Structure 1
Amino acid sequence: MAHVWSAEIEEIARRRDMAAELGGPEKVRRQHDNGRSTVRERIGDLLDDDSFEEIGVLAGFAHEGADGSRKVVPANFVYGLGELDGRRVVVGGDDFTIRGGAADAAIMAKQVDSERAACALRLPLIRLIEGTGGGGSVKMVEQAGYTYVPANPGWDVIVDNLSQVPVVSACMGPVAGLGAARAVMSHFNVLIEDVAQLFVAGPPVVKHATGEQLTKNELGGAQVHRRSGAVDRIAPDEKAALQSVRDFLSYLPSSVHELPPVAEPVAAATDSEALASVVPRNARQPYRLRTVLDAVFDAGSNFEYACYGGSVYTGLARLDGHPVGVVATDSYKGATMTPNGADALTRLVDLCETFHLPLVSLTDQAGMMIGLQAERGASIRRGARAVVAAYQARIPMAEVIVRRVFGVGGAGQVNRHRFSRQWAWPSGAWGSLPAEGGVEAAYRHELESAEDPESFIRDVNDRIQSAVSPFRTAEHYGVHDLIDPRETRGLLTRWVRDAYRILPELTGPPSFGTRP
């Protein structure tokens, strides 16, 4: 049956079919041969079945065929609305099969509108980034006949989104230039090992500018970004990368105007009995942080946040179904706060402050990293920045002192100048400096005149060990309570219910704009 608008309706279907072809069969085959899916395949794998509502599907670059027909090459950015585990999100991705994701094959308004949509609808934003996404090639200058003073497209809303909605980026292939900047302008950035790279400029530009001859992986692959701080998670493949996106967003509200989603409570994976023996008496021996996490938080809920933190563990977890941020120490990687570890802590605190997640500190902090390497890395400034983040945050905090609290780093891991619930395990040790190794410096003159220096040192150490007993501190109310470590989960569970009761007062944008 013919309808009034049959011809136009058929043309809409034809153009949608053209858009579905992306860069054509040969370019799609090349994408698959390089071990990468197409943007449409990724969106289909990420979102709930049949939930994607594409926006701007007909946008593209038209040209007349020899037969007079009009063919449209689609713009190389695909975006729209969809559902992720039943929650509405905005997702946008670069199409590498058309001009390698470059801006000269894009209609920039689509990319900017994906940002605006997330902000306007108060929905999480997911960026699947592949290519440059920036100013295109120098061919554009010749074609246009002029150049321009750069202004990053849509950067005003990109900046605002960091303080409004969860923003997640996934580097799905080579990512450079403005694409790299978009990747790091997010709360969580994941990169796929051996498949994706992240760099300001690619190997040809770098070779011309610096003389360095590097492959893409050597310049911006996983081995570079495991410790760079530009990437939060390295995923082994696309499936794992997309799963990490789902997992990360499951802890966060859809916007700063809502509270984190509370799930059904789940028992801990490890019996609390393990906590009574997890920390060795020998302070030089490390312990298994995973044992602590699995005995304190809901089973299956521990999500490591920043991969580059070294000894500073940052993560998300659930307590009785309630999302929380977690900072702790992986003693197998050290005990001090490295410059990178300080950056990881800053990002976690800012994330929790922005999206109203209470913070749990499983404190074991020997202070800021010292030595020449630390000074070259601005250890004190970056560590102080982490302390400032903890002090500026308004979210409820709870602290369980597992082992050490020393120096500026230990003193500032949480804000101890306001009321935060605090418990200490009997393995706790604290002070301005560790007592071990300090006797020779503090008693230098006495040692020089002692008849038996070794006996003198033993006597002093015995007196110091008595004075640094955590029970002495508890007697003076220097810690709120000493507890049996096996009580930790139960106490934190009661605390998190109190914390969530006051969270509604904190909804809305953070007190200052969130930075990447």
Structure 2
Amino acid sequence: MSWKKSIEELRRRERLSEKMGGEEPVSRQRGRGKLTVRERVAFLADPGSFHEVGKIAGKATYGPDDELEAFTPSTSVTGRATLDGKPTVILADDFTVRGGASDAAIWQKMVQSIRMATEYRMPLVQMIDGTGGGGSVKSLEKDPRTYIPETPGWNEIVHGMTQVPFVSLALGPCAGMGAGRVAASHFSVMVKELSQVFVAGPPVAIALGENVTKEELGGWKIQGQNGTVDNVVDSEADAFEAARRFLSYLPPSVHHLPERTAPTDDPKRKEDFLLSIVPTDGKTPYKPRRIIEAAVDRHSFFEIGHDWGRGMVCGLARIDGYPVGILAGDPFFLDGAWTADVCDKVTRHMDLCSMFHLPVVHFVDCPGFAVGVKAETAGVTRAGVRTMTAIYQASVPVCSVVIRKAYGLAGSAMMNQSRTKWRYCWPSGDWGSLPMAGGIEAAFRKELAEAENPEELKAQLYRKFEAIRSPFRTAESFLAEEIIDPRDTRPLLVDFMHHAARIVETGEFRHGYRP
């Protein structure tokens, strides 16, 4: 006697599961230029590392003799793997089974995956391709009743995001709960022309009077530019690489510190071009990414959110092997003014860094909050105050490098200035409660109006106040702690990171109320 027959039955069911939705749906999936769910898992995970959980879960049909006649696997493939040698939980949707609709799913597989990631302190990577919601109206024919909406697993998602990194890859149409899972993550990616994200698809939009395609409703040009997703890539392979790259900077959970890798760059490296990268006229923009790349370890900068909130460059990098969060004002967009979406972007990035214990380096060039009807209509005041609060609630060390402008409330939010100011200022620094330009004319309106030669008087006033605004005068009063040679930026940041590493601590990130 043995269990050989049972093992043979197990292998048969596993083979049925590997067929996914069947030959025709699999062919359609590939015909759309998409990988199947099992191909995706194989490309994402380290070779041979994936251990599947719940492989034979699905819907079975039995004949009169109680023998299995047909089997449809669930709409998700779940399990454990390693990514670059690091344990990770994978939750991948199978669009070939009823388009990933949850009325064909076993939701417990999703919940189990999230619980496993949370309890065993492993990142979660979701490959989302389908509705993941309540299925279709046709499902009511089989089960003739409606229900009060409930979202199984949402509590696990909310708690899990306070514990471990969540990465979501949108690899097809993601509607309803599928769209929700894309947004409920620390880092999300869309593939151009392949994926769309929306709360409900075109048929619902059409019923409401908007005749749109999937791409027009929720394509990458919309969701990549409004911040619903962080990054947009060209292919599924690029999405897998982005997931690996993002996770390489983060610890596996909030109960671990980020891992320092062996340094690959000279900690004392100095770049001569930094001495002249900022134009002396105070107006012409420069490329902040060149400054970032000169300061961090070579080829280590990974940008997040390139296509939205473009007045601020955000990302992750390494400095002498230590992972670090990066913020840098971009003067090519409204001179770097903080619009409502820039504020949201900064808030989100500061929270990510605090959550996973990444010190932050902020390259400051901020003329203040964006001004005007458009900015106010977008809610810049509320968003700005929330961002300032988030910066002051941050639990990690912040080093500010003032490159050029720092004006007003937004300019003051370069760090929590009630704590030790670890700050370096370039000679190009230009700061104050408001810019000189325009302010002189307003303050001396009467004198200019009565002057015999208004232009000459204005020129004299500008020369006077130009001398007053010298960063050296600020440093005389210790209001600028250190004026530095721009070429010394990297060595000084290396020093900062070594000190920051001494004080970062593990644990959950908790913060108070935000207005």
| Whole-angstrom CA distance in 2 between matches of 1:232 and 1:283 | 31
With over 3 angstroms needed to count, the CA separation of the structure-2 counterparts of 1:189 and 1:23, relative to structure 1, is same
Residue 19 of structure 2 is matched in structure 1 by 21
| Whole-angstrom CA distance in 1 between matches of 2:470 and 2:328 | 22
C-alpha contact (below 8 Å) 1:310/1:338 kept by paired residues: no
**Structure 2 residue identity aligned to 1:316:** L
Shift, 1:152, TM fit: 1.1
**TM-score normalized with structure 1 length:** 0.96
C-alpha contact (below 8 Å) 2:311/2:338 kept by paired residues: yes
SS at match of 1:332: coil
Does residue 1:458 correspond to 2:462, yes or no? no
C-alpha contact (below 8 Å) 2:403/2:428 kept by paired residues: yes
| Whole-angstrom CA distance in 2 between matches of 1:268 and 1:444 | 54
Residue 265 of structure 1 is matched in structure 2 by 263
Residue 176 of structure 2 is matched in structure 1 by 177
Residue 214 of structure 1 is matched in structure 2 by 212
SS at match of 1:464: helix
Residue 368 of structure 1 is matched in structure 2 by 369
Residue 319 of structure 1 is matched in structure 2 by 319
| Whole-angstrom CA distance in 2 between matches of 1:371 and 1:12 | 67
Residue 90 of structure 1 is matched in structure 2 by 89
| Whole-angstrom CA distance in 1 between matches of 2:170 and 2:71 | 28
C-alpha contact (below 8 Å) 2:133/2:177 kept by paired residues: yes
C-alpha contact (below 8 Å) 2:55/2:77 kept by paired residues: yes
Shift, 1:65, TM fit: 5.6
C-alpha contact (below 8 Å) 1:163/1:513 kept by paired residues: no
| Whole-angstrom CA distance in 1 between matches of 2:158 and 2:58 | 27
| Whole-angstrom CA distance in 1 between matches of 2:414 and 2:424 | 15
Cα shift readout 1:100-126 (whole Å, capped 9, x = no counterpart): 000011001111111111111110001
Candidates 45, 49, 52, aligned match of 2:50: 52
Where structure 1 has 5 or more consecutive residues not aligned to the other structure, the ranges are: none
SS at match of 1:73: strand
Cα shift readout 1:415-455 (whole Å, capped 9, x = no counterpart): 11111311100000000111112211111111111111111
Residue 103 of structure 1 is matched in structure 2 by 102
**Structure 1 residue identity aligned to 2:332:** Y
| Whole-angstrom CA distance in 2 between matches of 1:156 and 1:413 | 34
Map 1:350-429 onto structure 2 (within 5 A): 350-429=351-430
Residue 113 of structure 2 is matched in structure 1 by 114
**Structure 1 residue identity aligned to 2:508:** P
| Whole-angstrom CA distance in 1 between matches of 2:314 and 2:503 | 24
> For structure 1, which segment, 134-143 or 18-27, has the greater mean C-alpha deviation from structure 2 after superposition?
134-143
**Structure 2 residue identity aligned to 1:311:** G
Does residue 1:474 correspond to 2:443, yes or no? no
| Whole-angstrom CA distance in 1 between matches of 2:68 and 2:361 | 63
| Whole-angstrom CA distance in 1 between matches of 2:183 and 2:42 | 24
SS at match of 1:49: coil
**Structure 2 residue identity aligned to 1:406:** Y
C-alpha contact (below 8 Å) 1:274/1:291 kept by paired residues: no
C-alpha contact (below 8 Å) 2:61/2:70 kept by paired residues: yes
Shift, 1:71, TM fit: 2.3
SS at match of 1:172: strand
With over 3 angstroms needed to count, the CA separation of the structure-2 counterparts of 1:35 and 1:320, relative to structure 1, is same
**TM-score normalized with structure 2 length:** 0.97
Shift, 1:198, TM fit: 0.4
Residue 35 of structure 2 is matched in structure 1 by 37
Residue 298 of structure 2 is matched in structure 1 by 299
**Structure 2 residue identity aligned to 1:352:** C
> For structure 1, which segment, 288-297 or 357-366, has the greater mean C-alpha deviation from structure 2 after superposition?
288-297
Cα shift readout 1:337-393 (whole Å, capped 9, x = no counterpart): 111111110011000010000010111111111111111110111111111110001
With over 3 angstroms needed to count, the CA separation of the structure-2 counterparts of 1:271 and 1:32, relative to structure 1, is farther
CA RMSD of aligned residues (A): 1.6
| Whole-angstrom CA distance in 2 between matches of 1:125 and 1:478 | 45
SS at match of 1:331: coil
With over 3 angstroms needed to count, the CA separation of the structure-2 counterparts of 1:383 and 1:130, relative to structure 1, is same
Residue 6 of structure 2 is matched in structure 1 by 8
C-alpha contact (below 8 Å) 2:94/2:129 kept by paired residues: yes
Shift, 1:513, TM fit: 9.0
Identity of aligned residues (%): 44
| Whole-angstrom CA distance in 1 between matches of 2:204 and 2:414 | 41
Where structure 2 has 5 or more consecutive residues not aligned to the other structure, the ranges are: none
Does residue 1:443 correspond to 2:444, yes or no? yes
Residue 159 of structure 1 is matched in structure 2 by 158
C-alpha contact (below 8 Å) 1:268/1:299 kept by paired residues: no
Shift, 1:225, TM fit: 1.6
Shift, 1:219, TM fit: 0.5
| Whole-angstrom CA distance in 1 between matches of 2:330 and 2:513 | 27
C-alpha contact (below 8 Å) 1:354/1:514 kept by paired residues: no
C-alpha contact (below 8 Å) 1:38/1:95 kept by paired residues: yes
SS at match of 2:11: helix
> For structure 1, which segment, 325-334 or 450-459, has the greater mean C-alpha deviation from structure 2 after superposition?
325-334
| Whole-angstrom CA distance in 2 between matches of 1:56 and 1:332 | 51
Map 1:114-263 onto structure 2 (within 5 A): 114-209=113-208, 211-263=209-261
Does residue 1:328 correspond to 2:328, yes or no? yes
SS at match of 2:249: coil
| Whole-angstrom CA distance in 2 between matches of 1:121 and 1:4 | 35
Cα shift readout 1:156-193 (whole Å, capped 9, x = no counterpart): 11001111000000100000001101110000010000
| Whole-angstrom CA distance in 2 between matches of 1:481 and 1:192 | 44
Does residue 1:510 correspond to 2:509, yes or no? yes
Residue 499 of structure 1 is matched in structure 2 by 500
| Whole-angstrom CA distance in 1 between matches of 2:250 and 2:366 | 27
With over 3 angstroms needed to count, the CA separation of the structure-2 counterparts of 1:83 and 1:514, relative to structure 1, is farther
With over 3 angstroms needed to count, the CA separation of the structure-2 counterparts of 1:179 and 1:514, relative to structure 1, is farther
Residue 290 of structure 1 is matched in structure 2 by 289
| Whole-angstrom CA distance in 2 between matches of 1:89 and 1:366 | 42
| Whole-angstrom CA distance in 1 between matches of 2:287 and 2:312 | 14
Shift, 1:305, TM fit: 1.2
Aligned residues: 510
Shift, 1:237, TM fit: 0.7
C-alpha contact (below 8 Å) 1:400/1:424 kept by paired residues: yes
**Structure 2 residue identity aligned to 1:399:** S
**Structure 2 residue identity aligned to 1:131:** G
C-alpha contact (below 8 Å) 2:60/2:68 kept by paired residues: no
| Whole-angstrom CA distance in 2 between matches of 1:322 and 1:164 | 21
